[in-house]
Amino acid sequence: MSLLILGSVALDTVKTPIEEHTDQLGGSASYAAVAASFFSPVNLVGIVGDDFPEEHLAFFKSRNVDLEGLQIVPGKTFRWSGEYMWDMNQRETRSVELNVFENFTPDLPESYRSARLVLLGNIAPALQHHVLDQLIRPHFVIADTMDLWINIAKEELLRLIARVDMLILNDSEARELTGETSLIRAGRLIREMGPSFVAIKKGEHGCLLFGENQFFSCPAYPLEDIHDPTGAGDCFAGGLAGYLASRHLSDVSLTEKKEIPFDIMRMAVVEGSVIASFNVESFSMDRLRTVTPAENVERFETFRTLSRFGAL
């Protein structure tokens, strides 16, 4: 069973106070798929133009990312450009070129429709609905979003939130969506909108996970070298979803009932944070190309140490 991931596949131009990289592999689905591929095979749903470099397609394939659901059409690939300030938490979008995205309808290949685990990565809520409508009997659906959709497609987004099992968003988005300043209250309110689980990301300060009467605060990894924060949120979502998919494969009891135990969700949040922390160490997905299983385990253990205190 593969994890289905929908989102953007992009060519990004990213500028930091130190470096600028042009037309590099980016997009919410690309980051999420590569992050998830550490744990599970992935079926990717997206669109690119005929200018999309062959080497990126080969990279996806080398990571066990199936591309039957990736439409390659005449025209230019979606392009996004952003600039980071000295405070790498601050980013300005410099330009967005929708290109082939403008006429994108994510129709699923037949073999993708029976997906049990689904990540609706950051993309217009109408497209997220369209994919959900085609699924036969999904077991667990995660949705990611961004402030843009809260601003221009709030009603569709609220309808989507009511249909999914987990929502991932960042702290400012959670405040904007709910009108609450307290993230604890915001998390609780979003759960009341439908999803059993809500993860609120706090950038370099970690993440809050909300379940039914349960709460987990995942620490942040103390990174010294941040080169490019682009896609950290997508990698978090992809790593988390990939981990859940791998547990799904190995634990039959998980596939039989709707609820995923909170302990497994905690693990998924930490695995997502581990992958995201690697990703920001280099531009595009370059660091994810070199991460070894041993490095992954070592960083996971560091997260464990970070949240431990008192005599054990």
- Report the interface residues with ligand AMP, using CB under 6 A: 8, 10, 12, 26-28, 80, 122-123, 148, 230-234
Instruction: Give every CB contact of residue 24 below 8 A, 6+ residues apart in sequence.
Output: 11, 12, 13, 14, 283, 284
Helix axes 232-250, 262-279, angle to 10 degrees: 140
Q: How far apart are CA 250 and CA 93, in angstroms?
A: 41
- Phi, psi values for residue 305, rounded to 5°: -65, -40
Q: Would you say 10 or 249 has its CB closer to ligand AMP?
A: 10
- Pairing state between β 197-201 and 166-170: parallel
Q: Would you say 1 or 126 has its CB closer to ligand AMP?
A: 126
Burial of 180 (0-12, 13-18, 19+ CB in 10 A): middle
CB of 102 to ligand AMP, least distance (A): 12
Q: Would you say 96 or 264 has its CB closer to ligand AMP?
A: 96
Type and span of the H or E element at 91: strand 91-97
CB of 187 to ligand AMP, least distance (A): 19
CB of 298 to ligand AMP, least distance (A): 25
Q: What is the DSSP letter of 227?
A: S
User: Which of 221, 243, 239, 229 has its CA nearest to residue 35?
Assistant: 239
Q: What is the DSSP letter of 259?
A: P
Q: Would you say 9 or 270 has its CB closer to ligand AMP?
A: 9
Give the residue at shortest CB distance from ligand AMP.
26
Q: Would you say 69 or 211 has its CB closer to ligand AMP?
A: 69
Q: Would you say 23 or 259 has its CB closer to ligand AMP?
A: 23
Type and span of the H or E element at 10: strand 10-15
Is the Cβ–Cβ distance between 34 and 65 less than 8 Å? yes
CB of 260 to ligand AMP, least distance (A): 23
CB of 123 to ligand AMP, least distance (A): 5
CB of 76 to ligand AMP, least distance (A): 14
